Amino acid sequence: MKEQHNIPTSKVQRASKFIRTGAKIGGNYVKHYTKKMFDETTDRSVLHENNANDIYESLSHLKGGALKVAQMMSLDQGIMPEVYQQKFTQAQYSAPPLSFPLVAKTFQKFLGKGPFELYDSFTKNAVNAASIGQVHQATLNGKKLAVKIQYPGVADSLKSDLKIVKPFAKLMFNVSDADIDYYMSEVQEKLLEETDYELEVDRSMEISNSCKHLQNMIFPTYYPELSSKRIITMDWMEGLHLKEFIGTNPSQEIRNKIGQTLWDFYDYQVHILKKVHADAHPGNYFFSGDGTVAVIDFGCVKVIPLDFYKSYFRIHNRYFASDPQKFDQWLYELSFLNKNDTPKQKDLFKGLFQEMVDLLGQPFHADEFDFGDDEYFRKIYELGQRISSSKEVRKSNAARGARDGLYINRTYFGLFHILNTLKAKIYTKSNTFALAS
């Protein structure tokens, strides 16, 4: 893949790139509607493809918060046209990498030495490049290491990037001002944490140590002395990304084993640690043929407030929703309903959230669940499409759902996506659910 030799870092440079991209998108719409004047059968597929290519090209050049948002959205089936989802998936682990001179400059700035002074060997070319940083392979004293370097200017440009990308997000995802502002505020907070690599090392070591007893999970050792606010050094982990792993045609037994391992990993974090690895996209794991799973990135961690935890995980109690008074109280606690709702709005959103609870709660209400059931995921997709296309929902002036739930929802959605890709059938019953009753 062609390397980048520079990244626009000033607000003016980055805004100019967005403006040029906006002009391209405008041109795409003009072409689309001009063609439609002469051929009424013209659909929007070519328009979506052109827009997806132009937006991804722009974001992958800029890197940072805007590209991270695209990566996150690529996991949300139903929230955007499929062509956007397919294109933005590249941001998970195959964005264009930075050239070596920029990498060396980062080392000098944050560790005071070049990479060849710190390691016995260091690959000049990145082996992996994502939205916020890229990874190089190194060796030291016979040990193979992974070294993650953050792209220059990412942390400093985050807030301005998210302000600029908001109109694109509204256009693509058909959401209200209230929803997009509410979503972006939580995203900004988490992304600022993700750019603090010293915080990531601390959390990585803490969660890895707490979860080391879990079977089939493998965690790297981290090296704080070779890390900084913009560089992380850790053990090199072997394995395949999910798509590559599925390509090896693993047995159902191994698929189930890996699925169970991931379920138990998240179950323990959520219900025991009350903090969770909240970026459950496939690029953060390596999978092996023996059924082991390596976690290679703890950049995004959500700390779960106890009061929110107790309210949120009442979803595990299937009888709770059968009590109308308690169910209403629960919806208000989690801001699914608010006191300013009209009777019509209350009926609408109560009905929608009842459907969501019934559907998304199914894996938690069974001793065993088959995540290979595509019909189940088709229902989730259709519900998401119905909600996102609802005029009544889009016209609502209030964001729905507690802010603390945004990353918890994303965590489970990402986990469900991986388990569906694996076609895993696993035991989902957990004694820890009693804590949320």
Dump pLDDT digits (tens) for 49-91: 776 666 666 666 666 556 666 655 555 544 455 655 555 555 4
H or E element in which residue 122 lies: strand 121-122
pLDDT category at 5 given cuts 50, 70, 90 is low
Answer whether 300's CB lies under 8 Å from 90's CB: no
Nearest to 176 by CA among 356, 407, 398, 381: 398
Kindly indicate the confidence band of residue 14, based on its pLDDT and cuts at 50, 70 and 90: low
The highest-confidence range among 142-156, 231-245, 401-415, by mean pLDDT, is 231-245
Least confident of 1-5, 225-229, 251-255, 377-381: 1-5
Cα–Cα distance measured from residue 211 to residue 266, given in angstroms and rounded to the nearest whole number = 10
What pTM, to 2 d.p., does this model score?
0.79
Rounded to an integer, what distance in angstroms lies between the CA atom of residue 203 and that of residue 155? 19
Residues 151 and 63: beta-carbon distance below 8 Å: yes
Would the pLDDT of 353 be above 90? no
Q: Of 184-188, 357-361, 365-369, which one has max mean pLDDT?
A: 365-369
Mean pLDDT of 396-405: 76
Instruction: Specify the higher pLDDT residue, 40 or 267.
Output: 267
Task: Give the pLDDT band (50/70/90) at residue 437.
Answer: very low
Quickly state the pLDDT bin for 433 (edges 50, 70, 90): very low
Distance CA 356, CA 351 (A): 9
Kindly report the backbone phi and psi dihedral angles of residue 145, in degrees, each rounded to the nearest multiple of 5, phi listed first.
-125, 155
- Residue 120's pLDDT band (cuts 50, 70, 90): very high
In the chain, what percentage of residues exceed pLDDT 70?
69
Cα dihedral 154, 157, 159, 164 in deg (nearest 10): -110
Is the separation of the CB atoms in 278 and 269 below 8 Å? no
Residue ranges of domains in the chain: 11-95+154-174, 239-437
Report whether pLDDT(284) > 60: yes
Alpha-carbon distances, residue 25 vs 22, 58, 274, 318 (angstroms): 5, 11, 43, 46
Q: Which residues of 170-208 are buried (b: 16+ CB within 10 A; e: fewer)?
A: eebbebbeebbebbbebbbebbebbbbbebbbebbbebb
Show contacts of 346-350: CB within 8 Å, 24+ apart: 348/392, 348/393, 349/396, 349/400
Examine the pLDDT at 28 and tell me if it is beyond 70.
no
What is the average per-residue pLDDT within 332-354? 87
Residue 236 DSSP symbol: -
Given this model, what pLDDT does residue 435 score? 44
Least-confidence region, from 65-74, 196-205, 287-296, 356-365: 65-74
What distance in Å separates the CA atoms of residue 400 and residue 63, rounded to the nearest whole number?
A: 30
What per-residue confidence (pLDDT) applies to 282?
A: 85
Could you say which DSSP state residue 309 is in? H
Burial of 235 (0-12, 13-18, 19+ CB in 10 A): middle
Pairing of strands 301-303, 275-277: antiparallel
Helix (H, G, I), strand (E, B) or coil at 279: coil
Can you list the positions of beta strands (E) in 374-435? Answer: 425-427
